[in-house]
Structure 1
Amino acid sequence: MPKISKVTTILVGMMMITFLLCYSSQVQADWDDPIKDGDYTYTVTDGKAQITMFSSYATGDVTIPSTLGGAPVTSIGIWAFYICKDLTSITIPQGVTSIGDNAFQYCTSLTTITIPESVTKIGCNALKYCDSLNTIRFNSATTTIYDSAGTIPAATKIIGYASSSAKDYATKYYRKFEVIDTTNTLQSIAITNPATKLRYTVGDALDITGLVVTGTYSVGSPKPESITAANVTGFNSAVAATDQVLTITVSGKTVTYKVQILAATQDKDYEYTVTGGEAQIKKYIGAQGAVTIPSTLGGATVTSIGDWAFDSSTDITSISLPEGVISIGTGAFSDCTDLTSIRFNSASTEIYDSPETIPATTKIIGYDPSTAKEYATKYNRMFEGIGTTNTLQSIAITTPATKLSYTVGDTLDISGLVVTGTYSASSPKRESITASNVTGFNSAVAATDQVLTITVSGKTVTYKVQIVASTQDKDYEYTITGGKTQITNYTGSGGVVTIPSTLGGFPVTSIGTTAFRRCTDLTSISIPEGVTSIGTSAFAYCSGLTTISIPQEVKNIGLTAFYYCTGLTSIRFNSAITTIYDSPDTIPAVTKIIGYASSTAKDYATKYDRTFEGIDTTNTLQSIAITNPATKLRYKVGDTLDISGLVITGTYSTGSPKAESITVANVTGFNSAVVATDQVLTITVSGKTVTYRVQIVAAPITPDTSGMIEMKTATPTVGPSKVWTIKLNGLVYEDQLMDKIYITNSQGYRQMLLAFTVTLENGLSRIEVKPAKNYTPDDYILWVRDIESLGRIKIKNQVYLKFTVGEAMPTYMVTAGDFLGKKYVTVTLNTENDTQYAVNVEGIELTYSEAKDAFVGILDTNKAATELTTVVSKK
């Protein structure tokens, strides 16, 4: 028989009814990262711990700790203490707020339990089949108890407050009830969410929308009180008031809050209100004749003409509206019998859609196109265009549609979409958009980024939506998150089942909690590569299942995943590192485990005394690689090795790659006693090696010029074409070149020959200082200390010289061409003297020719002179 799904309409037996009721409301938890601590297994989410499993071998009295792993315990998850048949009492700490479905089911020795005040809800069948449970005490009057006779056993006496949810449950299901003698009285009330409206205009009615008042009781948790306008006194909108105090009263307890009553603002012609810097005209009280409404009133921009604002102003002959007016209210100009014209200086003013807004005889003046023109056309009014043509320039989405994610088969929904048009001769205006303005929508197939195009008067703008596949097919219910599918329920007929690699167009990566639970007709199942996790009780009670192979990519298998699979003869693990939930109930005792000799499968079989068969392929380390380099790659002389940040990953003959454990003992070749440009370090793991390079630089030298002579030069700036030399007092012993003659930068670090060339010339009597092509602009010091002559006699003078290297000179490409092909050379040119620069290309000297504005030379081939012309271009 197939598994009974949640949508089954024909139910057999009351036990199955309650089972389905529990699971129709239950939110499945994520068991991917369980933590084990003694008898407890738990997960931590957002800093809060949920107990997911307790050892079924524990006995006697149990006190649940208030924290696990440093996180407060706030919930007892589904099935957490399931079949802990030897527990006699349980103490739950204050701070726990929820007890999940079936949490203590089949705790058959449990005699008493107290539910702390902090618990707000108890799930379906939480204490079902706890046949020895004599009493359960509720220390809160408001704990929600799942509304089912199976939540608390029929023989259990319920202890709680006279007015409480516990008493309600006991009454409904004919349970014994004992009253806690303390009266539960209201102590105080407080506003936990203020009313939305705190600012009123004279004449407004009280509005308590959004107001939440919470009561604190002598026993039990605080709870929201039922509040209506009848609970509020002190409101008076007849006159203006800056801080009007309103009092809320519940059962004699009071709390207050303040509101502001604003007077309708008035000048000699208008009554108006101001909100957020915008003025709305409430009533016109000015003179007759032609009226030009001002752009501001009381310093605020006039943006709205209120309902009936000019109603029955029979002596007005014409009205001109300022450009800033956004909307015209209901009947704003109704019964203005002498109104011959009304001018709209904005093309986007919204006019209330009724023929009574503007009289039938009034000429409407406005832009073409405009909302004024649209109104005039619709209601057959005279229309006169303003001289400037007002054309739509572009459109933009100023508020996106609320719905941007659809399921296959859905219809387009543009609720919330606001498109604004920019015009040539008026302010931007909101465009009228319907589904007919939108093209490109197709919900027949799944799509990650489907582009929809909105078109208004030939102007377009686009936005993207997502079309996801339906999350149900004939055999599976599933969810899709982040482009990955998790199977949540199997609804097929059983037998030999091959789980598809994709559902809804997305890869199947997870088999969720209880997905195949009680599929008793399931005999064989193939799990596709790509699945990485198998959830709690995923195949529990699949008694017909005989064999299963776990793919290499599966990283973890949850609690009781194959519990009570009585026919399961073997389970094969194709990875050596799959994490198997550490409980004897995960895999049945009769099941043979097949896996690698060195593997988590072998460890599980050994621990729980299971039959184990080794896969003959040895899982050996094949190679190692650096998957994250060490943070420190540059050292000073004398530093110690630091491998912080270094991650080494090993590849194995079977199983997935894994990170290796590395210490400094695995690293050889490090020597910080001497300077080194590229020192090679070797990492060794089980005979496999990988290398990386570090640099050893000399420690900074503190400038010490005592006893030394400072040499100075008239041109202390050095560059490629400004090379200078220092004459020495005697011939120098050549081996001292880098030991006694060196250069330091502004930070005191010695410069390697890579950056500078220091050579001895003319019989070893002069020092030439010349930056290499990759030098860094900086201030430098040349040091000459304790120089010895060829006769190993110290030369008297010890000197230092400060110099500067400026910005890098530009590099040019000089190309020489001949009939044999092109010759190339790159040189650094001094832009001030480039016409005097000679270039040698493979033995041919090229000199600059002003007449040709190029470098030229002569190539003598077969006694025929051929001129070479070069092209100089910046590299």
Structure 2
Amino acid sequence: MKKNFLLFVLLVLAGRMSAEEFEVDRFTYKVLTDNTVEVSSYNSGALLDIEIPSSVTNNGTKYSVTSIGDYAFSGCGSLTSITVPNSIVSIGNGTFNYCNGLTFFSLPESVTSIAGNAFAGCSKLASFELDGTNTEFSVVDGVLFNKEKDILLIYPAGKGTGYTIPEGTVEIGEFAFSESAMLTDIEFAGTLVKIGDAAFSKCAGLTEVNLPVSLISIGDKAFNGCKGIVSVSISKAVSSIGKSAFINCSQLMAVTVDPENMDYSSLNGVLYDKQQTTLLLYPKGKGDNYDIPVSVNAIGDYAFYGTNLTSVTFSKSIVSIGAYAFADCSDLSELNLPEDLEIIGDDAFEYCTGLEKLVLPDKVRIIGKYAFMSCQSLKEVTISENAEEVGRNAFWGCKKLESIVIPDKVTMIGDAAFGSCRGLIEVTLGVKVDTIGSMAFSSCSDLMVVNSRNPEPPVCAAEDIFDGNESVMTLHIPEDSDEQYKDALVWKNFKEIIADLEKPAPDSMVGLETRASLIVDSSKNGCVVLISNKEQTVCVYDVNGKMVRSQMLGKGMNELALADGIYIIKGDSDSLKVIVR
């Protein structure tokens, strides 16, 4: 199988050095250019004090050491000091993460770039120092700033329990205070305008956050995991709040917004947009049940992420639920979704492990990727009649699900959509299912019966749709479809193929039997020839539902150049599949 072959290749590669890497004196270097390298790792389990050389020679070639790569020293807990040469220009992501023995770090004047999370989790790091005259950075009381001292870049996690951000600071950079476990008190500068992504992420000791009135922007995951924060006040100037700015704040009871704010509002401690049509954040510590106001028509990304909800009442007007909106709400046992709902976003209900039954309203068209992944108690699922596709991994790991019926308007089932549904016994595929993604029903060890209602066998993206278990499974297909299925990839491998399903009614096949003619001319390197009976625009989608191109067709013959793969081409009224080899 492909997975085993790939694993074998990776194991072989792991045992030898890459052609672009070499080792000298325990340092592993990655070649960047003809005469420059970066440090990619240090091969010793007992680091104490080390010095990075400014140059290194390998096979007669001398290289200048110009950067320290991503995660090069990550997790080196015994490292107490490191000397960085004046040749180093950049320090990458996570380079010194969790180097808990470091107490200070001296920057040479050559360094011009440092990733914000380069020192995350360095619990004893108390100060930065500058060696020489650096043109990009400055240090104020051990804290790293940009040269102009108006952007705070990295606060050393071991510096202390309290900190006052200097006046004149306008921005706190990404990951600047991330994982500063000692930090309990922070006083913001009155000049502060922006807090970057994950700036205070996992500062579990923070108990109070008094945001300044000057603040305009709060980044994604800015206060993620700040478990001690109880309340947050948003001033009238704030115009941008990251989607997951306050997730995993387990004690957060309320978010209040200045009534004069032009972009946001709050109601009983819950954050909304100004018009209160989109619910943006339900504080994790607020309570275990909630009635969503009738004004709300959309639930934003991460809105209820990880909360302790046991029940929620939706307003009837809600049409969309955003990505991760209810993810990890493990106490949520019942869902009565609103009748006007159309879109369920990616990961919207993943890890809702208490859910046992799911009925999707008839208007739901889109079921996003990972939407109900690992809902391990889910026993019953009714997919809406108007659903058009089931996204990648949408129901992966729903191990108690015993049967599933794919409605007749669904055309595509994404990769691993029902993978690892170990209790699944029977699957019924709707009449318009014409494309099934890789591993769609893999690791469904109890699956014995598949009913495919499409007279034409759906295109399988790979031979691993059913993990190769077709030889012990029974396939039921429409009358007079034997020959098509017995010659088709994957379908021909079933132990038993029985043509005993009723032929679909003609009106249910509209869009399938009235397709434009489609020819793949392999002599022209994947040129698809599409014959159209009118002028129209067609959109081309890959097997994951991503649009890869659109093109205006003229009446008659048209050519589309496409790379090898499986595609769905949708016109004004027609929908067809094509394999380009």
For the aligned pair, the TM-score class normalised by the smaller chain equals 0.3 to 0.5
Normalised to the residue count of structure 2, the TM-score between the two structures is: 0.36
Q: Please identify the structure whose Cα radius of gyration is greater.
A: 1
Structure 1 or 2: more strand by fraction: 1
